[in-house]
C-alpha cells in the first residue's frame, strides 16, 4: 500500500508516524512545500524574543530523521498542484528545479494546514510588515529586529499570537501598540473577562486601541480608518488564520460550513481513500456537537494520529474538542475551555454564571488571586465552560475543568473532588471547589447570582433595586456602585426594617463571599428576591467602561 501525505508539520508527521507503527510494509511519502518540517509553531514567539536561543530547538527533526527512524520519505519544497481523485494521482512540482511529475497513491492524507489571514490593507506587502505562521516568518522577524533595531511596533489583532509577541517585543525594549478591529480584545473571552484582562494590561501601560480598522501600513506605522496614525517601525498582522483548502476544493472534496475540509470521526473525507487532519479540517464541539474551526497544535497532533491509525486499518475516533486554549503575557495567565457565556446563550442553553475570585495558594506563601468565570446549564446542571485569568496555577485549574466538562460533571460534584492540598500548592478548599459551591448554591439552594453586565443593563433600564454594599465604611467611601446603600454585614440585622421586603435586593461585597452571607440573612427574613453580585465590587470596578 502506498500512502501519500500532503503536509509535514504537526498533523502530517503524526499521521505518518502512527501509520508506520501500524504497518511496517507500507510505502509512506510526504510532500511539503515549505523547507521546514515538524516544527513547534507555538514556540516561535519565544525564539523571536530570545527565550529560545536557537531555531534548531524548535525544528528538531528533518527528513533524514524520519527516513532513518520510520522509513518515511519526506520531500520538502515540493508542492502538490492537483489531486486527481478518479485516477488516484497527484501532480507535484519541485519548487527548487521547477520540474513537475505525477505520483500515485492508494491512500491519501491531506494535511495542508492553515495560512495567516491577510486583510485588505494597503501596503501590507511592505518590508516592515510581517505575519507569523512558520519558521521562516520567525527568522525574518528576528532578522529585521537585529538589523533595524526598531523602537516601536504595532500588532494588529489580539489573539494568542499577538499577545505572545507583545510580551517578547516589550522585553526586547520595543514599545508596542495593540490595534484590534473588534470592540473587545481576545476572541476566546466573554466581554466582561476581556475588559478585566484589558484593565490588567492597561495598568502595565500597554496601549490598546479597539474598534479600529487599519487601512494602510507605512514605513513608520499604520493608518486607521479615522485618519489616526499609530507609530510602528515594525508591524505584525495577527488577524487569525484560514484553512488551506484550495487544493482539496479543486479536487471536489467536500468542505464544511466553516470553510474547512469536512471529515467524519475517523478523519475520512467524502472519498473513502482520502483522509484529512490538522488545521485544514473542520472539527466540532464536544458539548454541542456542532461544527467549528479550531486550529490548535494539540488538535492537529490528535487528528493526525487518528488519521494515521484509521488509514492503516485502525479504529480510533475523534470525539470533538472544547476549544481549550491558554496563553501567557508577562506574569498573567489567560485560559479558557468549553463554551463562553455568549456561545452558550446562542446555543439556547439556560445558563447560570459565576465569577469566583480566589488565590491559587495561601497568601502567606505568595498566593495571588485568579478570577474564574464558570458557565453552567440550569437544566442539566452540567458545566459548559470556564475562563480563568490569573497568575500561577491557572493551567492546573483549567485542566481540571477540561476533565470535568469532558465527562459531563454536574456542579454539585466539584466540591467532592479529592484534589491535592498542601500550602505550597493550593488552599484547603481549592478555587475549583469554591466554583462548584457557588454554582451549587445558585442552582439548588436559592442563592441567585447577578452578573455585573446584567446589573448594569438593569440599572440602565431603570429597574427598581435596593443595592446593599455590605463592606465596611472606608471601603464604601473608597468606591461603590451608584445608588448603593452602605450596610456592613455585621450591622445588617439592626437595619432590616429600613429595607422593603417586596423590592428586589442586590447585595455585594469585595469578591462575593460576604455578599452571599448577607443574601442568606435577607432570605432568612423572608425578603422575596435577593441576588448576590457575581465577583463583587472588585470585578465590577475592574470591568467598568472608562
Helices (H), 172-283: 191-202, 246-251
- pLDDT tens digits along 36-47: 999 998 899 999
Q: Residue 460 — very low, low, confident or very high, per pLDDT cuts 50/70/90? A: confident
Phi/psi at 540 (5° precision) = -60, -50
Q: Closest by alpha carbon to 436, among 354, 325, 508? A: 354
Work out the average pLDDT over 245-258: 98
Binned at pLDDT 50, 70 and 90, residue 546 comes out as: low
Mean pLDDT of the chain: 96
Give the position of cell 474598534: 211
Q: How far apart, in whole angstroms, are the C-alpha atoms of residue 45 and residue 51?
A: 9
Secondary structure of residue 329 in the 3-state scheme: strand
Q: What is the pLDDT of residues 98-131, one digit of tens each?
A: 999 999 999 999 999 999 999 999 999 999 999 9
For 18, half-sphere exposure in the C-beta direction (CA atoms, 13 angstrom radius) is 24
Q: How do residues 335-394 score in pLDDT, each as one tens digit? A: 999 999 999 999 999 999 999 999 999 999 999 999 999 999 999 999 999 999 999 999
Distance CA 70, CA 258 (A): 35
Q: What pLDDT sits at residue 376?
A: 98
Q: Is the pLDDT of residue 461 over 90?
A: no
- Is residue 462 left, alpha or beta, with left meaning phi > 0 and alpha meaning psi from -120 to 50? left
| Domains of the chain (ranges, CATH numbers) | 2-39+62-113+242-310 (3.50.50.60), 129-239 (3.50.50.60), 331-444 (3.50.50.60), 449-542 (3.40.250.10)
d(CA 502, CA 183): 38
Closest Cα to residue 442, out of 346, 526, 528, 530? 530
| Residue 141 binned pLDDT confidence (cut-offs 50, 70, 90) | very high
Q: Per-residue confidence at 181, pLDDT binned at 50, 70, 90? A: very high
Query: What is the predicted pLDDT for the residue at 535?
Result: 96
pLDDT at residue number 302:
97
Q: What is the pLDDT of residue 544?
A: 86
CB contact set of 450 (below 8 Å; sequence gap of 6+): 458, 506, 531, 532, 533, 534
Residues 6+ apart with CB under 8 A from 330: 167, 204
- Over range 448-456, report the average pLDDT: 94
Query: Is the Cβ–Cβ distance between 26 and 70 less than 8 Å?
Result: no
Contact predicate 510/356, CB 8 Å:
no
Amino acid at each position: 500500500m502506498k500512502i501519500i501525505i500532503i503536509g509535514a508539520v504537526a498533523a502530517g508527521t503524526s499521521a505518518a508516524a502512527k501509520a508506520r507503527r501500524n504497518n511496517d510494509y507500507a510505502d509512506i511519502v510526504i510532500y511539503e512545500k515549505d523547507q521546514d518540517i515538524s516544527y513547534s509553531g507555538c514556540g516561535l514567539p519565544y525564539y523571536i524574543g530570545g527565550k529560545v536561543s536557537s531555531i534548531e530547538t524548535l525544528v528538531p527533526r528533518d527528513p533524514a530523521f524520519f527516513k532513518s527512524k520510520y522509513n518515511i520519505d519526506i520531500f520538502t519544497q515540493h508542492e502538490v498542484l492537483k489531486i486527481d481523485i478518479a485516477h488516484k494521482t497527484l501532480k507535484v512540482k519541485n519548487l527548487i528545479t521547477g520540474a513537475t511529475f505525477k505520483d500515485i497513491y492508494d491512500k491519501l492524507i491531506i494535511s495542508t494546514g492553515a495560512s495567516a489571514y491577510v486583510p485588505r490593507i494597503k501596503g501590507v506587502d511592505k518590508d516592515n510588515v510581517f505575519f507569523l505562521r512558520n519558521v521562516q516568518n520567525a527568522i525574518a522577524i528576528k532578522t529585521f529586529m537585529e538589523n533595524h533595531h526598531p523602537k516601536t511596533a504595532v500588532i494588529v489583532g489580539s489573539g494568542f499570537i499577538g499577545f505572545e509577541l507583545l510580551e517578547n517585543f516589550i522585553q526586547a525594549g520595543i514599545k508596542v501598540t495593540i490595534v484590534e478591529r473588534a470592540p473587545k480584545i481576545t476572541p476566546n473571552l466573554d466581554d466582561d473577562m476581556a475588559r478585566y484582562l484589558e484593565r490588567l494590561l492597561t495598568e502595565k501601560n500597554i496601549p490598546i486601541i479597539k474598534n479600529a480598522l487599519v487601512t494602510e501600513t507605512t514605513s513608520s506605522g499604520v493608518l486607521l480608518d479615522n485618519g489616526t496614525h499609530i507609530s510602528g517601525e515594525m508591524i505584525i498582522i495577527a488577524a487569525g488564520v484560514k484553512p488551506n483548502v484550495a487544493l482539496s476544493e479543486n479536487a471536489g472534496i467536500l468542505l464544511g460550513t466553516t470553510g474547512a475540509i469536512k471529515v467524519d470521526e475517523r478523519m475520512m473525507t467524502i472519498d473513502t481513500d482520502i483522509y484529512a487532519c490538522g488545521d485544514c479540517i473542520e472539527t466540532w464541539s464536544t458539548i454541542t456537537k456542532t461544527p467549528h474551526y479550531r486550529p490548535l497544535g494539540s488538535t492537529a497532533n490528535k487528528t493526525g494520529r487518528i488519521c494515521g491509525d484509521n488509514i492503516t486499518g485502525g479504529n480510533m475516533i475523534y470525539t470533538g474538542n472544547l476549544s481549550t486554549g491558554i496563553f501567557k503575557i508577562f506574569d498573567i495567565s489567560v485560559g479558557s475551555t468549553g463554551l463562553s457565556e455568549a456561545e452558550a446563550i446562542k446555543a439556547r442553553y439556560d445558563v447560570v454564571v459565576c465569577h469566583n475570585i480566589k488565590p491559587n495558594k495561601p497568601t502567606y506563601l505568595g498566593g495571588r488571586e485568579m478570577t474564574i468565570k464558570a458557565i453552567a446549564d440550569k437544566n442539566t446542571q452540567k458545566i459548559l465552560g470556564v475562563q480563568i485569568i490569573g497568575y500561577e496555577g491557572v493551567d492546573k485549574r483549567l485542566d481540571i475543568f477540561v476533565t470535568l466538562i469532558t465527562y459531563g460533571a454536574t456542579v454539585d460534584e466539584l466540591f467532592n473532588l479529592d484534589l491535592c492540598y498542601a500550602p505550597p500548592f493550593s488552599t484547603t478548599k481549592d478555587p475549583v471547589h469554591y466554583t462548584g459551591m457557588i454554582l451549587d448554591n445558585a442552582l439548588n439552594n436559592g442563592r441567585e447570582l447577578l452578573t455585573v453586565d446584567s446589573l448594569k443593563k438593569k440599572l440602565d433600564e431603570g429597574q427598581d433595586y435596593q443595592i446593599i454594599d455590605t463592606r465596611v465604611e472606608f471601603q464604601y467611601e473608597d468606591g461603590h456602585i451608584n445608588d448603593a446603600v452602605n450596610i456592613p454585614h455585621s450591622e445588617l440585622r439592626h437595619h432590616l426594617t429600613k429595607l422593603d421586603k417586596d423590592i428586589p435586593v442586590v447585595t455585594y461585597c469585595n469578591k462575593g463571599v460576604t455578599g452571599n452571607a448577607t443574601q442568606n440573612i435577607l432570605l432568612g427574613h423572608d425578603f422575596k428576591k435577593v441576588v448576590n453580585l457575581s465577583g463583587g465590587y472588585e470585578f465590577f470596578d475592574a470591568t467598568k467602561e472608562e
